Amino acid sequence: MALRRPKITAQECALRLLSARDRTVFELRAKLQNKDFPPAEIDTVMSNLQETKVISDARFVENYLREMTNLRPCSLSQSQFRLRARGIAPELVIEKWQELALSEEELAQKVTQIKLRVLQKNDPKFREKLARHLAGRGFSWGIIQKILRDLKT
């Protein structure tokens, strides 16, 4: 005889999901919808969690940007692109970027220092590989050119 688990509420499910990792409002709502909770119950849970500040897109963006600058630096446009997929408005990303006083040029320097550990300077395509890597992280051509100029000296 199999034991049946008691059915959990949307609130309990949301708190379990948030205990694993921080999520955006958009992500949490989608998870609850996938678990077939009634829309009215989801709306109630989401508004309660936002009122009590258990979930906050602004806090999520700030934490994301702090981690990004240390673990995988990228440009503002790349951050906006990644966070847009999580339901975050680009304006909120810009606002938090400015609050944290992040600089694309400093982040590009950081990416360069990390990449220099892997690239061989005697490689004839060294500069091309570095430029492609920086472009892949969303940095503008102007910043890439400045980084490459600074490498000469």
Per-residue pLDDT of 89-141, as tens digits, reads 999 999 999 999 999 999 999 999 989 888 877 778 888 999 999 999 999 99
Q: Which of these ranges, 28-32, 37-41, 119-123, 137-141, has the smallest mean pLDDT? A: 119-123
pTM for the model: 0.84
User: What six digits make up the tokens of 138?
Assistant: 């969303």
Query: What CA–CA distance (Å, rounded) separates 101 from 90?
Result: 16
User: What does 37-75 look like in DSSP terms, one character per residue?
Assistant: --HHHHHHHHHHHHHTTSS-HHHHHHHHHHHHHHHS---
Query: What CA–CA distance (Å, rounded) separates 59 from 71?
Result: 18
